Structure 1
Amino acid sequence: MKKTEKSFPSAILGLCLFFGTGLLGSCSKTPVPPGAVSLTIVNTLTTPLIVNFNEEDSILFTGGGVGQIVDRNTALAFGLNGGKQIVNLREINTANPIYTWADHSMLNLLFDLPAGTMGSLFVSGTKEVPDTLLVRDSPLHFPAGDSSMGIRFINLSGEKAAVDVNLAGQADGSEAADLAYKNITAFTRYPADASVQQYVFEFRNASDGSLLATAAMSNINNPGTSGAANLWRHRNFTLVFRGVPGSTDSPPAAFIVRNH
């Protein structure tokens, strides 16, 4: 069936959104309010998605739709009511000067998200055959004087092969060994003090050790006392591996999502 497209309406309906810019996906360090949930949607597809939280044909949006568009290789965090929650995802057509979207959902999901939940919805696979993984987040907490950060890893490889993750210069699998498709590690504490300038993580084929992608976290030793704030200390991050070796549309890559 031929799909039609719709453009953004002129009305603006408010959603409770938290979002950021640049390489880091968005989120909030503030605890989830009573009765609410925090849901971070992570998009590893080759197309941006528009997110809606009902089954209607209309799209609710804030700020011209920007607050509902999850671009490829990025994440967007939403503050929602607890309980039954519809997540309606549609493909965005970026070729049009004014963003348009398909008239049918790529994914229409129903979750039960208990009040107080912090969760992440990972969208992987392809736009023709999308796949999802919903996890409940358990971020690390950082007491006063603890100059550290939390990092976890997830494998969303398009070829569904296992990967090893290591710090540059260390043995294959030093951080995560034989991480299978759609598997995710727990958050692990890493130093984020003046002694650490950067972390460079390498994602390798678990079978032959070939390098697939890298992800760098720089300026970790920024004191944050003047000028730019320290973006890493006392925060949690997810390093997402996606893509297929040899693919031109979706080559292997790793990107960073800032969580809580």
Structure 2
Amino acid sequence: MISTYCKRNRSANGRNRIFILFPFLAILLITSSCKKNRFDGNPATVQVFNAMDDGISFYTYLGNKRPALFKTSLEIRNKSYEQKNNLLYISSFPQQIDFYAKPDTMPHDQPALSMLAELKDGAMYSLFIHGEKSAPAFSLFQDIIPAINWQDSTSHIRIANFSESQAISVNIKGEAEGSLVQNLPYKSLSDFIERSAGKSVAGYEFEIRNQATGELLASYATSGLYPLDGTPNLWLGKSNTLVFTGKYGAAYPNQQTITLMNHR
């Protein structure tokens, strides 16, 4: 009888503990539903390009308070791109992203730029920061990266115009002006264009011109189009953006230039 009594008592205590836990579980479920956190391993991907004037770099911070240290923050260098330094993975939407200028001359604890990013699960984005430090702005694009064409040796390329004040045209050197891209306005992207990247192609030199006058503004020559053994593959089976930045006639660091932004 003692053993039976103790067993029933333990069962009753267990039921009591379960009943007590139910309200706490309900509170947790309600709380967790307030913000869309994803734990399914399929975050949004944001590639950040810093096209700011005057050589300004940024530290990124995913929050709403200035961190005490920036050791764990990405440093987005000016007019430079490496995926390890410029790639953000975001799994909570909407997500606040703060950009703190380096060197920091802003009022204490104020980011140079703050944005609330509304993103989608598993989607890819390109984020361009541009303008002057006194009034920075951003342009966010959702990307559709072309599928790799394994049957043919090809590469995909597009042009981003973040050089102020003029529309541009693009051609391959030796081809007609505007034969690749025409009338691309400021703060916009062209479509991806497929080009051959086989062994027979030595390379390409892209020429960016003023749409209205035809004046050559900048050029970019590919390197390692078809990689040899042991050399980095930047083009074959890849998708890249050539980012055109700077101001017409300006001196360093605001001269017009082209930077390679790779997507895979």
Does TM, normalized by the shorter one, top 0.5? Answer: yes
Query: How do 1:1-260 residues align onto structure 2 when only pairs under 5 Å count?
Result: 34-45=41-52, 46-58=55-67, 64-65=71-72, 68-75=74-81, 76-93=86-103, 102=106, 103-158=109-164, 160-223=165-228, 226-248=229-251, 249-260=253-264
Once residues 105 and 194 of structure 2 are traced to their aligned partners in structure 1, the CA distance between those partners, rounded to angstroms, is 40
What 5-or-longer segments of structure 2 have no aligned partner? 1-39
Q: 1:108-129 deviations in whole A, cap 9, x for unaligned?
A: 0001111011001001111122
Once residues 56 and 123 of structure 1 are traced to their aligned partners in structure 2, the CA distance between those partners, rounded to angstroms, is 21
Contact 2:171 2:178 in 1 (8 A): yes
Deviating above 4 A after TM superposition, structure 1's stretches of 4 or more consecutive aligned residues are: none
Identity in percent: 27
Contact 2:93 2:119 in 1 (8 A): yes
Contact 1:151 1:188 in 2 (8 A): yes
Once residues 218 and 230 of structure 1 are traced to their aligned partners in structure 2, the CA distance between those partners, rounded to angstroms, is 10
Once residues 133 and 60 of structure 1 are traced to their aligned partners in structure 2, the CA distance between those partners, rounded to angstroms, is 27
**Corresponding letter in the other structure for 1:258:** N
- Range with greater deviation from structure 2 (141-150 or 194-203): 141-150
In the alignment, what sits opposite 1:10?
Answer: none
Once residues 59 and 213 of structure 1 are traced to their aligned partners in structure 2, the CA distance between those partners, rounded to angstroms, is 41
Change (3 A) 1:197 1:238: same
Q: 1:204-254 deviations in whole A, cap 9, x for unaligned?
A: 11111111111121121224xx22242211111011111111212411111
Structure number with larger C-alpha Rg: 2
Change (3 A) 1:111 1:234: same
Once residues 208 and 166 of structure 1 are traced to their aligned partners in structure 2, the CA distance between those partners, rounded to angstroms, is 14
In the alignment, what sits opposite 1:28?
Answer: none
Change (3 A) 1:193 1:89: same
Contact 1:39 1:121 in 2 (8 A): yes
- Range with greater deviation from structure 2 (81-90 or 235-244): 81-90
Alpha-carbon distance, 1:101 to partner: 7.4
What 5-or-longer segments of structure 1 have no aligned partner? 1-32, 94-99
Bigger RCO (CA 8 Å, 6+ sep): 1
Once residues 219 and 181 of structure 2 are traced to their aligned partners in structure 1, the CA distance between those partners, rounded to angstroms, is 14
Contact 1:164 1:177 in 2 (8 A): yes
Count, aligned residues: 216
Contact 1:215 1:256 in 2 (8 A): no
**More helix per residue:** 2
Contact 2:224 2:232 in 1 (8 A): no
Change (3 A) 1:234 1:154: same
